[in-house]
Structure 1
């Protein structure tokens, strides 16, 4: 029977897309999702999107990315409904609409050494290898433990996450849209607003027009930038970039000179802010060199686990002339509070999300979504994990 904490003692059987090994397509399996433990929440995942990071960990593992344990349930950009809560959870109740976060809600306080932040760092480290705070996963399949990607594992109809990695949705907004706030849009928009702190009337450049880069363009526009130059090798993305605020679009293939020189000529000295959003060592160096000396700021935003430190060539003179180089993770949002702020902006139509979604698929079609990522045929593909009513419930033990 349900209680105010939900069916917290029941193991749920449901469907999930399981990765059994690197380079192998996902398979739809019946999995068992265990009850939540202390400071954990079990959620019913209504919608999730496919991020390039999901693709990279499956198909690029061992070629510059960390090799995570398998079997694994990927997915980290999602929205759902709380099904049950574990002991010591006081911020959530069954029925709450939520967005799981791959970064615990520590924010800037994580820089201070307290008992709580030490625990959060431990939780984060465990999430990187696919387990919860106690070192185990809550998902199993065929009598095996299945690891939870980044502590989320949203390619499952049900999953269990830490209560420190969960944002409550307080307003009536579509879950299959706001799921994008779990990663890409928050990261890119935050890079412009929180990291670079783009100013009104400034000149900006965004390198890489995936969902993160397009969100950075949107953030520059919201900050009042006068000129926003979008850079990508794929001209099919330029219309969307302009829709979100780009004033100019540049394809490096169209120029004989290095792209950074093209941008400095276009802006008569360089941009005030440059954001590298592709995770490309080549673009990282180009972005820094496209900024103006004596005050230009470059932020590295795109995620990569390749050894980019050795791959990026930066002359000492480039920095000594007064440029600033920054890095960011999740757009420097303070976890839950940041997502709540973005939700409010979306509700007020100050933030676009619908324009990022190019495809909608069912869970059984998830490998097609991965193909779209590989071929760059989508900005974001949203996977809807349930057919029919959102209240549908699977068999439970």
Structure 2
């Protein structure tokens, strides 16, 4: 393993939001170099750089110096790619970017709302911008996130704490009846409903991107869907990793997008707990 991102999904393991049999090695967003292969493996060979794709993090376990994975969990990428950057394609960037491009299929000139402006939320913003959205409204209670969100394409940012009325009503007023596309990238039940309710009631599309708390169910008024809204979700931004990851790396190498705004800290492996502290504090 050369580089591994720290994803909120990994934090859910340590917090218990993912009920996971122990012992376990977390980590699933990584890039490295093949050292050796087992019998029958044909997709890669020793010395070729690789990216560990999204899926069950237990099948990758990248918070380690070495890991053993099935061939299906390995994708060969451009050998010139900087592994400390393209490791983000293993989950975070692809999940957010694809949610806009592949899942919601954001249309040119549309209005979007993104709930949660962490690394994945910023990637959603990047996807909305790439798709040609005219207005991208970032929603987050952490105002320290706003500058970077605007840097990658958000046209404005708001905090639910600044309004007396519910945030979905604020967004409906701002957009003249509801946004065309909304994305929940927080992982909380109340924001999932708020994101849905903020959509235009006849044709709005709302995508669940954030991982919800384990063992909790959502109660929702079906009238929110009866008018014609679409409520959906997807793992890994709707991409098929074996086909899409090498292409996403190629696009990165062609400077179609930059990951610099998504990378706040680069730490040695020994400081992994410090990385998790930064994640939880909202400073990465």
TM-score, with length taken from structure 1 = 0.70
Distance 1:367 1:101 in 2: 23
Partner of 1:347: 253
- The alignment partner of 1:263 has SS state of helix
Partner of 2:30: 78
Identify, as 1 or 2, the structure richer in strand: 1
Identify, as 1 or 2, the structure richer in helix: 2
Partner of 2:12: 56
Distance 2:247 2:172 in 1: 35
Which stretches of structure 1, 4 residues or longer, exceed 6 Å deviation after superposition? none
Tell me how far 1:341 sits from its aligned partner: 1.9
User: Which of these residues, 162, 183, 187, is aligned with residue 70 of structure 2?
Assistant: 162
- The alignment partner of 2:182 has SS state of strand
User: Which of these residues, 133, 136, 139, is aligned with residue 225 of structure 1?
Assistant: 133
Distance 1:212 1:330 in 2: 11
Q: Do the aligned partners of 2:12 and 2:18 also contact (CA within 8 Å) in 1?
A: no
Distance 1:153 1:305 in 2: 21
Partner of 1:278: 186
Distance 1:346 1:304 in 2: 30
Distance 2:118 2:211 in 1: 12
The number of residue pairs the alignment matches comes to: 284
| Deviation readout 1:150-201 (Å, 9 max, x if unpaired) | 2111111110111111111124121000001111100000000000000100
Distance 2:232 2:19 in 1: 27
| Deviation readout 1:111-135 (Å, 9 max, x if unpaired) | xxxxxxxxxxxxxxxxx5xxxxxxx
Partner of 2:279: 373
- The alignment partner of 1:265 has SS state of helix
Alignment of 1:357 with 2:263, yes or no, is yes
Alignment of 1:195 with 2:103, yes or no, is yes
Distance 1:354 1:177 in 2: 8
Tell me how far 1:280 sits from its aligned partner: 1.1
Partner of 1:288: 196
- The alignment partner of 2:212 has SS state of coil
| Deviation readout 1:31-57 (Å, 9 max, x if unpaired) | xxxxxxxxxxxxxx0011111111121
What is the alpha-carbon root mean square deviation over aligned residues?
A: 1.2
| Deviation readout 1:56-75 (Å, 9 max, x if unpaired) | 211x21xxx23222222111
Distance 2:104 2:11 in 1: 28
Output aligned runs, 1:1-397, within 5 Å: 45-58=1-14, 60-61=15-16, 65-103=17-55, 128=56, 149-310=57-218, 313-378=219-284
Tell me how far 1:308 sits from its aligned partner: 4.3
In structure 2, list runs of 5 or more residues that go unmatched.
Answer: none
In structure 1, list runs of 5 or more residues that go unmatched.
Answer: 1-44, 104-127, 129-148, 379-397
**Which entry has the higher C-alpha Rg, 1 or 2?**
1
Q: Do the aligned partners of 1:102 and 1:150 also contact (CA within 8 Å) in 2?
A: no
Distance 1:247 1:88 in 2: 51
